[in-house]
Structure 1
Amino acid sequence: MRILWSIAGGVALAVGIVGIVLPLLPTTPLLLLAAFCFARSSPRLEAWLVEHPRFGPPIRDWRAEGAISPRAKTMAMIAIGATFALSVFMRLPSHVLLIQAVTLGAVTLFILTRPAPKPSLNAIKPPAAKR
């Protein structure tokens, strides 16, 4: 079973990395899925992913607080708007647009109601001492 979790984690990570350059692929949820899968298959891979300087912060924020950064929220809203605009531009049938509007509206509501991550103690720098 561990091998299946490893494969699923690897696929989620690979698709998530592709999502960095393709705006319609959701990177962060795929990274969360990869961390979930690696937690069940390889503590070493999970630790690598969670501690990664680029991929780790959104995973740690989500695990600690269920939080999404303001930048990630903005990028998600841009992708959601672009997706719906493209659908309208392509003149998809009205029932498809309705289903898409309801689904994307629910996703938008979910994203916007998540808290922003609190600054970590490591990120807060003490004020410089006056001489």
Structure 2
Amino acid sequence: MTVQSGKTGFRVLAYISIGLAAIGVVLPLLPTTPFVLLAAYFAGKGSPAFASWLERHPTFGPAIRDWRQSRVIPLKAKMLACSMMLLSWGMLCALGAAAIVLVISGTFMAGVASYLLTRPSY
């Protein structure tokens, strides 16, 4: 793999991650903050211009800086993410989703929630 194709791969992953973060803003099933942090990581590897834009963004920038400097996630972001995941899982349950869907989504959401809740807050 050439350096250019590696950078292209990271750039694509950065754009996919920020796209998922944007969807997560309106769709409770996806937490936004982890995808923003992933986008910042991938952009740093593949697109310095995009990384710079993310870091200066009024909404995403503070979370990225806090994570990079202190490895902290704002308490408000944690509570919102966990609440939305719980609400989403409850909606799946109420709408009669198959048991396998409930198990897989519940496991994924519990893993994300566990990770978020074990990170320091401010």
Instruction: Specify the TM-score bucket, using the shorter chain as the normaliser.
Output: 0.7 to 0.9
Is the CA contact 2:28–2:87 (under 8 Å) kept in the aligned structure 1? Answer: no
CA separation of 1:91 and 1:21: change in aligned 2, threshold 3 A: closer
- Cα distance in 1 between the residues matched to 2:19 and 2:96: 32
Of 13, 17, 31, the residue aligned with 1:8 is 13
Structure with higher helix content: 2
Please name the residue that 1:124 is paired with.
Answer: none
Alignment pair present for 1:26 and 2:16: no
Aligned letter for 1:82?
L
Please give the root-mean-square deviation of Cα atoms over the aligned residues, in Å.
2.0
- Cα distance in 2 between the residues matched to 1:14 and 1:76: 17
CA separation of 1:19 and 1:106: change in aligned 2, threshold 3 A: closer
Is the CA contact 2:72–2:120 (under 8 Å) kept in the aligned structure 1? Answer: yes
Alignment pair present for 1:67 and 2:42: no
Please name the residue that 1:86 is paired with.
Answer: 91
Aligned letter for 2:84?
A
Larger radius of gyration: 1
Aligned letter for 1:41?
G
Poorly superposed stretches of 4+, deviation over 6 Å: none
- Cα distance in 2 between the residues matched to 1:62 and 1:93: 36
Aligned length, in residue pairs: 117
**Residue 100 of structure 1: how far off its partner (Å):** 4.0
Alignment pair present for 1:97 and 2:102: yes
Alignment pair present for 1:57 and 2:99: no
Please name the residue that 1:109 is paired with.
Answer: 114
TM-score, structure 1 normalization: 0.75
**Residue 46 of structure 1: how far off its partner (Å):** 0.8
- Cα distance in 1 between the residues matched to 2:69 and 2:32: 19
Any stretches of 5+ residues in structure 2 without a counterpart?
none
**Residue 101 of structure 1: how far off its partner (Å):** 3.8
Query: Which deviates further from its counterpart, 107-116 or 49-58?
Result: 107-116
Q: How much identity, in percent, do the aligned residues show?
A: 34
Query: Which deviates further from its counterpart, 35-44 or 104-113?
Result: 104-113
- Cα distance in 1 between the residues matched to 2:48 and 2:82: 33
- Cα distance in 1 between the residues matched to 2:17 and 2:108: 22
Of structures 1 and 2, the one with the larger relative CO (CA 8 A, separation 6+) is 2
